[in-house]
C-alpha cells in the first residue's frame, strides 16, 4: 500500500482555519462587549513591548482567549531563556507570521539593458509562547486575569419582554461567553450587568437569536454547517440578521462594528461572490421568524410607551 504524501504546511491556510474555528466556540474575542474573561482582551505585545500588527493580533487574541492567558506578552523559546525564564514542559506554542519583501537580481536581462532587482513577497511562520507559559520571567511580564465586573448595566424591560416571546431557552451564568448551543437548543448569555452598554447586551442576544432560528425545529439552517466555510456563512447570517432585527424594532444597530465583523467573514468566503446576497436572504428569513413570534416594531413601541 502506497504511503500518503504528508500535507505541505501552509501558514495562510492554518491561520484562516484557526480564525473560522473561533465561531464554533462562540463570539470571537475581538468582538466582546462585556467584561470578564480569562484572557484574550489585552492587546498582544512582543517581549520588547512592541505591539503585534495585522493578522497576528487576531491569532494571539484567539490563543489567549482559548487558553485563558492573562499576560499580553509573547516571546520565542530563545527570548524566554534570554530573559531568565524557562518554558514549562508540555506547553504548546502559538503560530505567528512575518510578511516581507526580498530583492533578488534577475538571472537574465533583456538585450541592451542591465539586470534589475526583482522584489518578491514572502511569508515566514514562527512560534511564540505567552508569558503565562514561562516560569522565572521578571514580574513586569505577569498579569492577573480580567474578572467580570458589575458595571451596573440594567436591562430594558420592553426588550426583555420582546425576546421573552421568542420561546427560546435563554440561560445566564458567570461563564463569559455568548453562544447558541444547537445540541441543547439553548442560548447562553453572560449577566447583563457585565456588559458595557444595554444595547451591547441586546445586540449580542439578537445575534444569538438569529443562530437559534437555524435550529432543526425551526428553519433547519445549521444542519448545513459541515465545514469551515459553512460556519463562516452562518456567522454572516447572524450578524446581518442582528442588524436587520434592530432596524425592524426602530433601533439603531452598531453598523460600524458589524461592518468590520462582516468584512472579516466575507474574506473567508472570498471565492463565493454571491455569499453576501444569500446570507442576507437567510438573515431576512430568520428575522421574519423572530418578528412573527415576538411582534412588530409598532407593537414594540406601544409596549415602551405603555
Looking at the chain, the whole-number percentage of residues with pLDDT higher than 90 is: 35
- Say what the pTM is: 0.57
Mean pLDDT lowest for which of 40-49, 127-136, 166-175? 40-49
The strand pair at 45-46 and 73-75 is best described as: parallel
CA 73 – CA 133 distance, rounded (Å): 10
CA 296 – CA 293 distance, rounded (Å): 9
Give 221-254 pLDDT, tens digit per residue: 998 877 767 777 888 888 888 888 887 787 776 6
Phi-psi region of 78 (alpha: psi -120 to 50; beta: other; left: phi over 0): alpha
Cell 439553548 found at: 186
Is the pLDDT assigned to residue 268 strictly greater than 60?
no
Give 53-104 pLDDT, tens digit per residue: 766 776 787 788 777 788 889 999 999 999 999 999 999 998 887 766 666 6
Amino acid at each position: 500500500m502506497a504511503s500518503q504524501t504528508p500535507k505541505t504546511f501552509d501558514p495562510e491556510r492554518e491561520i484562516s482555519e484557526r480564525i473560522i474555528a473561533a465561531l464554533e466556540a462562540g463570539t470571537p474575542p475581538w468582538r466582546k462587549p462585556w467584561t470578564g474573561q480569562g484572557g484574550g482582551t489585552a492587546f498582544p505585545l512582543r517581549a520588547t513591548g512592541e505591539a503585534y500588527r495585522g493578522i497576528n493580533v487576531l491569532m494571539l487574541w484567539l490563543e489567549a482567549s482559548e487558553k485563558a492567558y492573562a499576560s499580553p506578552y509573547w516571546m520565542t523559546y530563545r527570548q524566554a531563556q534570554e530573559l531568565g525564564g524557562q518554558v514549562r514542559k508540555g506547553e504548546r506554542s502559538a503560530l505567528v507570521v512575518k510578511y516581507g519583501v526580498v530583492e533578488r537580481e534577475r538571472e537574465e536581462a533583456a538585450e541592451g539593458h542591465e539586470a534589475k532587482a526583482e522584489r518578491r513577497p514572502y511569508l515566514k511562520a514562527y512560534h511564540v509562547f505567552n508569558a503565562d507559559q514561562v516560569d522565572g520571567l521578571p514580574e513586569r511580564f505577569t498579569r492577573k486575569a480580567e474578572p467580570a465586573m458589575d458595571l451596573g448595566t440594567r436591562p430594558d424591560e420592553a426588550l426583555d419582554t420582546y425576546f421573552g416571546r421568542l420561546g427560546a431557552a435563554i440561560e445566564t451564568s458567570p461563564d463569559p461567553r455568548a453562544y447558541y448551543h444547537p445540541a441543547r437548543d439553548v442560548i447562553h448569555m453572560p449577566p447583563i450587568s457585565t456588559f458595557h452598554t444595554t444595547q451591547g447586551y441586546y445586540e449580542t442576544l439578537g445575534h444569538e437569536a438569529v443562530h437559534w432560528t437555524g435550529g432543526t425545529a425551526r428553519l433547519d439552517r445549521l444542519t448545513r454547517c459541515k465545514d469551515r466555510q459553512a460556519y463562516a456563512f452562518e456567522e454572516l447570517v447572524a450578524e446581518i440578521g442582528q442588524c436587520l432585527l434592530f432596524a425592524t424594532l426602530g433601533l439603531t444597530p452598531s453598523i460600524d462594528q458589524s461592518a468590520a465583523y462582516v468584512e472579516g467573514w466575507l474574506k473567508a468566503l472570498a471565492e463565493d461572490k454571491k455569499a453576501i446576497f444569500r446570507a442576507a436572504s437567510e438573515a431576512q428569513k430568520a428575522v421574519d421568524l423572530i418578528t412573527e413570534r415576538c411582534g412588530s416594531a409598532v407593537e414594540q413601541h406601544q409596549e415602551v410607551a405603555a
